[in-house]
Structure 1
């Protein structure tokens, strides 16, 4: 039986509250679990000690038996000093998509055209220039 240390959602709509549980990997997220290890309240401030409450001894036991933590639970275990979570890097996450790049290029082209139009020397109107050069015949 594959065991997972994961979060089971509780709370009401728009007010999440999670239980940290040991469950069979095949059971539903909020379904049957084997043991409750703690709680996680994301609505509390990050420095609040009640945000994550975890029974560290039982977590160590389940890890020794072979339970696999999910990424979020592994973060909690890392801060508690039970497990080590490797830092991840996704450099492509911050890059804009194709449409955003196209919009930015289009915007830059428009701005360059406007700037070029402002800096171009202004030519005198043709009619006024012709009237100034030729004297009026009376």
Structure 2
């Protein structure tokens, strides 16, 4: 299963996370498929930067975000776009089957 999760970087007492797409069997800081952005919990002004198009693409391919990654994606507006796209696709399929 492919997951969207955080990859810890930085140093002791100054955590910094990359938001990455990774196979779920890989270690926490192991090799990742693609980097989507970063999350810096210490920085109050700009805590995260995210490539929303790549994130949406991976969600549509079936990648499952972890709880923290899902919260970050929600704040960036990606989960709303994902739900809307999924709903529209389901609605189109339903109309196609009815005709």
**TM-score w.r.t. structure 2 length?**
0.78
* 2:3 paired with 1:4: yes
| Structure 2 counterpart of 1:66 | 62
* 1:69-84 map, 5 Å: 69-83=65-79
* 2:36 paired with 1:37: yes
- Give structure 1 stretches of 5+ with no counterpart: 85-138
Aligned pair count reads: 80
Post-superposition offset of 1:79? 1.1
Q: Distance in 2 between matches of 1:32 and 1:41?
A: 20
Post-superposition offset of 1:81? 1.4
**TM-score w.r.t. structure 1 length?**
0.56
Of structures 1 and 2, the one with the larger relative CO (CA 8 A, separation 6+) is 2
Question: 4+ runs of 1 displaced by more than 2 Å?
Answer: none
Q: Distance in 1 between matches of 2:8 and 2:48?
A: 14
- Give structure 2 stretches of 5+ with no counterpart: 81-99
Post-superposition offset of 1:82? 1.4
Q: Secondary structure at the match of 2:78?
A: coil
Between Structure 1 and Structure 2, the one with more helix by share is: 2
Q: Distance in 1 between matches of 2:51 and 2:78?
A: 11
